[in-house]
Amino acid sequence: MSDKTKFINLKNTIAIILLLILSGHLYAGFFYPDEIFINANPTFFYISIFIRISFPILILFIIIVYRAVYIGKLKVSSIVLLLFALLFVLLLVYPFGEYFYKKRYRMNLNRYHTFLQLNPPIPSEVDSNYFNIFCLGGSTTEFRDSRGRDWPALTQKLISEKYNIDSIRFYNLGKQWYTTQHTLINYIQNLRKLKPDIILVMHNINDLLINADFSRFSNGNFREDYGHFLGPEALMIKYGSLAEFIFNNLKLLWYRPEPVDIRTDKYPGLVSFRNNLKTLTELARNSDTKIILMTQPNIYKEKMKSEELRSLTMLNKEAIGDGVRWTYETAFAGIKKYNDTIRELSSELNIPLIDLEKIVPKSLEYFYDDVHYTDKTYDLISSYISDELMKVIRQR
């Protein structure tokens, strides 16, 4: 047997051992991913599993190819040609991937607003012959249930049926991601001049999450004006290209440090939250508009079941950064402080309060995540709001 066909020799053995050592080091890294990241992103969890399965197969394939080249069954030129062909295909495919990536995250600019991140909800028209109620808040105001119902429309319907009043009109002006800062700016610039009779305001968790300034939605340390928070623009700004997006996410799957759990009772955003609501109240009163505050219902409680903890999308996906996360205790204490601040402001400023948190049971029967409602909750809160609202209206 010639030296050319004798594959097992000292030179090849050393080469294969070095390859196995290097590939072993690379492979081991995929067993130490950022656990927070892959638990929050099912797609990357499955990518991680795929890499763990396919990597050894790839190394075995490389050894087989190396042997084939060594014994003369495969030419080096053929491998080089194949690699160039694969590179050429990737270069052809990449622009299409880049196009669809940008279309999703960057080119759909009509939904964005220079100052408010997302376009503000503004009524197309307001009839002054009606008693007009503007409902302001985030996604828990904006969103509808599986039957297309939102709580402002349901509340209007209940008042009409139960109290035989058809002169009241509700406007759902909530917007996902919006904080008190967004609502305040939108009120000053767009809504105040429409002179609603009442504004119903419900904010909490979006302002709370501003305090998690280590999160992937932030761009620096906490600022009183919320200027550090990128919100829905985070992916558009942080990942300018598809290649950058892939690199910054895949690196989280390889040799990441142990997760750091942040437990704190300090929420600097509470000062801004309080000031924003106080300013909104002052402006509304100056325009002869009645303001009513509402606490935000949520599933947070002292003892949580495992399935309830897993459902906390906003805690598990938004209050996280690169190997960093809030503890449940931090989120629980925070959401309580924010609702308590609303109650304190109601008393301090003599503002009517609809304490929704107290009437919604804290279970998955009423919530599908931290704060978003099941269909059953829409009926419950709209019934309560209609009764509480009528008490305020009759006092005017």
CATH number at residue 117: 3.40.50.1110
Domain limits for position 102: 10-109
Assigned domain for 171 exists: yes
pLDDT at 112 over 90: no
Pick the residue with more confidence: 3 or 156?
A: 156
DSSP summary character for residue 306: H
Would you say residue 393 has pLDDT above 70? Answer: yes
Residue range 227-243: average pLDDT?
84
What percent of the chain lies above the pLDDT cut of 90? 76
Higher local confidence (pLDDT), 267 or 68:
267
The pLDDT of residue 1: 45
Q: Is 119 a residue whose pLDDT tops 80?
A: yes
pTM recorded for the entire structure: 0.88
Q: Is the pLDDT of residue 3 over 60?
A: no
Boundary of a domain, candidates 72, 91, 109: 109
Residue 168 binned pLDDT confidence (cut-offs 50, 70, 90) = very high
Same domain, 197 and 157: yes
Q: Does the structure show a pLDDT above 60 at 189?
A: yes
pLDDT at residue number 74: 87
Query: How many angstroms separate the CA atoms of 348 and 145, rounded?
Result: 34
Nearest by Cα to 163 from 131, 138, 191, 194 = 131
Tell whether 91 and 155 lie within a shared domain.
no
- 67 inside domain: yes
Does residue 2 belong to any structural domain of this protein? no
CA dihedral 154, 158, 160, 166 (to 10 degrees): -30
Decide if pLDDT at 266 tops 90.
yes
**What is d(CA 381, CA 387) in angstroms, rounded to the nearest whole number?**
10
Residue 49 lies in a domain: yes
Q: How far, in Å, CA of 23 to CA of 26, rounded? A: 5
